[in-house]
């Protein structure tokens, strides 16, 4: 009976040792996650500060609206530039046609 108790105690000691290792591992993981979270919060604060400085707001909805405005403005500018280039080509073609020069091939 004493041998059986000894075997049970050894099993419990092994289980306890395993639980301690798992606890230590989980504690280390918790510390890493807390550090990561703190770093991410710092990064978020820095990005919010930059957004307020550059765009006047750090509100994601307002930033999204501002981005959409900028995209529409860029689209308008590209369209105007494309028309300008088209007009230049057209005028050059008219000048070349009027002077009798052939367009290069």
Q: pLDDT, tens digit, for every residue of 70-98?
A: 999 999 999 999 999 999 999 999 999 88
70/42 same-domain check: no
Q: Are residues 46 and 66 in the same domain?
A: no
If asked whether residues 54 and 67 sit together in one domain, one would say no
- Give how many domains the chain has, as a whole number: 2
- The whole domain housing 17 covers 1-58
**Residues 27 and 12 occupy one common structural domain:** yes
47 and 65 in one domain?
Answer: no
Report pTM. 0.59
d(CA 32, CA 38): 10
Reported residue count of the chain is 105
What pLDDT score was predicted for residue 8?
78
CB neighbourhood size of 44 (10 A): 11
pLDDT in tens, 3-57: 666 667 889 999 999 999 999 999 999 999 999 999 999 999 999 999 999 999 9
């Amino acid at each position: 009976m004493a041998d059986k108790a000894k075997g049970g105690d050894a099993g419990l000691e092994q289980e306890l040792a395993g639980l301690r290792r798992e606890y230590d591992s989980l504690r280390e993981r918790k510390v890493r996650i807390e550090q990561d979270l703190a770093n991410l919060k710092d990064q978020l604060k820095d990005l919010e500060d930059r957004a307020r400085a550059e765009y006047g707001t750090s509100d994601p909805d307002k930033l999204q609206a501002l981005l959409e405005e900028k995209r529409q403005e860029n689209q308008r500018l590209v369209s105007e530039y494309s028309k300008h280039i088209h007009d230049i080509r057209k005028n050059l073609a008219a000048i070349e046609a009027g002077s009798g020069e052939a367009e290069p091939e």
